[in-house]
Amino acid sequence: ILGILISYIIVILLNYTYLIPLQLLSWISLPYILSQVELPSLDLEGICFGKIEAVLKKTHLSFHRIRTNSMYKWSPLNGKYCININDNKNFNMIILGTSGSGKSFLAKKILEVGKLNYTIFDVHGEYDIEGIKRLDASKISINPLSLLGQSPRERSLEVAYVLKSLFNLGNI
């Protein structure tokens, strides 16, 4: 009876209602039910971005008043959201968001906290980070018509190919 009670509490609390038939097996089902519990890893090393309030988990049945065909539900979880960028050898990142949502702020914080090698293409002059080597692109110019050690024919074909690629042109 104790096994049924324990497994019932776990199944209801974690919303693994699809495992209710296993409760009849009580002590046999308890190890299986416990093995199905998946908690996200809360790695507190690295750069912490914010607080985790809930995680999206797969579920099979719902005992709520509103029934949907959704196979997922939000499960409460409290913790910090951190990633360790140094764990990966080739870590690439993109930050997306609407205007004013804090993309530049987040990027600056990542660069300040993490000891990373990085390249920023700062078109608007938003990144004033201490100790960085800055190249002013307005003072660096590339003449697309300079030969760069190639024959005029080779260079013209190269420029034509670049223009073809940029503007999605046909054969040139």
Q: What are the phi and psi torsion angles at 74 (to 5°)? A: -85, 130
Top pLDDT among 2 and 144 is at 144
The token pair at 141 is 């110019």
- Which residue carries 């530049």 as its tokens? 104
In angstroms, the CA 172 to CA 169 distance is 8
Q: State pLDDT tens for residues 102-119.
A: 888 888 877 777 667 777
pLDDT band, very low/low/confident/very high, at 164 (cuts 50, 70, 90): confident
% of the chain exceeding 90 in pLDDT: 0
Q: State pLDDT tens for residues 2-33.
A: 556 666 676 667 666 666 665 555 555 545 55
- Which residue carries 């660069």 as its tokens? 111
- Which whole-number Å values give the CA distances from 145 to 18, 103, 111, in the listed order? 68, 37, 37
The mean pLDDT value of the chain amounts to 71
- Which whole-number Å values give the CA distances from 54 to 11, 24, 75, 162, in the listed order? 18, 31, 5, 48
Query: What pLDDT score does 35 carry?
Result: 54
